Amino acid sequence: MSARLLILEAGSAASSNLVRSLKAGDPSLAIVGCNDNPFVLQKSAADRNYLLPDFGDDLAGVLRQIIKAERVDVVIPASDDGVRQLSRLRDRLGCRTFLPRKSLIERCQDKYELTIFLRERGIPAPLTYPITDAASVGRLFRRFKPRAELWCRIRVGAGSHGAIPVKSPAQVKSWIAYWEQMRAVPPGSFTLSEYLPGRDFCVQCLWDNGTLVLAKMAERITYLDTGGPSGVSSMPALAKTAYEPRVFEVCERAIRALDARASGVFFVDIKESEDGEPCITEINAGRFSTMTNIHDLAGKHNMAVTFVRLAMGESVRIHPATDFAEGHYLVRSVDTLPAIVREAGLYQGIKRAGV
């Protein structure tokens, strides 16, 4: 496939993993990277890299210059901020973006608004309330089961930003006070919801004008230690390929409810409730997950390359749309490349000590 790509936030973990998947799936792709941070850009694996000016400058004009000079076909974001910026500029760049609708992106980036949207349509999502002020916390607690463990988090952001399990109103008030006073989080940014103790899934999927083209699933087993008190995040240290039809079904219902003619890439985070019901905790619209390698380098179809084919206007139809490769694991840690390990070859080249 002949295509030239521009990857935003080049050098970041998300963009670097995406570039790895693209190059593994189709070495003929020409990949250009850009970032406004020269230190991060030094880590970029793109074929050519550009340093952007501060975002306060004419970003659209600068991107147009790169797109014209490099004959870029498709621009791909790597974070929620990048999706938001690209969505705003998409009609001014002179190339393809293959993003979902702007209104869909905005709804998904507000986790509370998305949760209410899903629950109103009978799609499983955790019972959630907005925290308007400290005085309302005790009243909100009484809306849940007595002595229940609850989940307090910020309405926007990724990687369990500002999230913590709580058991008392005092814990919530202290947590919010810290973030407002020390991290300048605006009042009214937090929500309180039921805690979901079950399995943790990520479903990444591609849509083309309302048709589900490809979907893959992974279960997070352990998490990278980011220093946060929640102990969980969207960034696993160990994950495995999975296939749960009811989880796929919930994700498909959610995307169709958001937009009957949805296009682009989505990754959906799902936690199981106490009784095993899969509940959607967030939907990231317009970007690949940081753990995208397990969706690209295992199974029959490389999802990142399939995305590029769709973005270039190809008609791609895969039957069945759910692609599953049993017994594959993603292993990640700080300062090492993520690895896809097959269960069948887990001990290959390893000598057991003491045997």
Tokens of 332: 């990640």
Dist. CA 345–CA 341, nearest whole Å: 7
Q: What is the pLDDT of residue 231?
A: 67
Q: What is the pLDDT of residue 181?
A: 93
- Domains of the chain from N-terminus onward: 4-97 (3.40.50.720), 127-194 (3.30.1490.20), 200-345 (3.30.470.20)
* 76 and 42 Cβ atoms separated by less than 8 Å: no
Q: What is the pLDDT of residue 55?
A: 56
Task: Write the single-letter amino acid at 222.
Answer: T
Q: What is the pLDDT of residue 160?
A: 67
Rounded to 10°, the helix 111-120/102-109 angle is 100
Dist. CA 125–CA 278, nearest whole Å: 8
What pTM did the predictor assign?
0.93
* 216 and 204 Cβ atoms separated by less than 8 Å: yes
- Which residues, in sequence order, are bridge partners of residue 132? none
Dist. CA 47–CA 191, nearest whole Å: 42
Please, how many CA atoms are within 13 Å of residue 336, restricted to the half-sphere of its CB? 9
Q: What is the pLDDT of residue 107?
A: 97
Task: Write the single-letter amino acid at 41.
Answer: L
Which class for 110: exposed (0-12), middle (13-18), buried (19 or more C-beta within 10 A)?
middle
Dist. CA 204–CA 102, nearest whole Å: 19
Following DSSP, what letter does each residue of 173-211 receive, concatenated? HHHHHHHHHHS-PPTT-EEEEE---S-EEEEEEEEETTE
Instruction: Report which of 163, 153, 240, 148 is spatially closest to residue 200, judged by C-alpha positions.
Output: 240
CB environment 307-318: b (16+ within 10 A), e (fewer): bbbbbbeeeeee
How far, CA to CA in Å, does 128 sit from each of 111, 140, 154, 200? 10, 10, 12, 18
pLDDT in tens, the chain (355 residues): 789 999 999 999 999 999 999 999 999 999 999 999 999 999 999 999 999 987 556 889 999 999 999 999 999 999 999 999 999 999 999 999 999 999 999 999 999 999 999 999 999 999 999 999 888 999 999 999 888 899 999 988 766 678 899 999 999 999 999 999 999 999 999 999 999 999 999 999 999 999 999 999 999 999 987 666 666 767 899 999 999 999 999 999 999 999 999 999 999 999 999 999 999 999 999 999 999 999 999 999 999 999 999 999 999 999 999 999 999 999 999 888 899 999 988 888 888 887 6
Q: What is the pLDDT of residue 65?
A: 95
CB environment 268-278: b (16+ within 10 A), e (fewer): bbbbbbeeeeb
3-state DSSP assignment of residue 340: strand
Instruction: Report which of 79, 87, 232, 85 is spatially closest to residue 157, judged by C-alpha positions.
Output: 79
Cβ-proximal residues to 322 (8 Å cutoff; 6+ apart), any chain: 215, 216, 217, 243, 248
Q: What is the pLDDT of residue 261?
A: 98
Cβ-proximal residues to 236 (8 Å cutoff; 6+ apart), any chain: 218, 220, 221, 222, 223, 224, 291, 330, 332
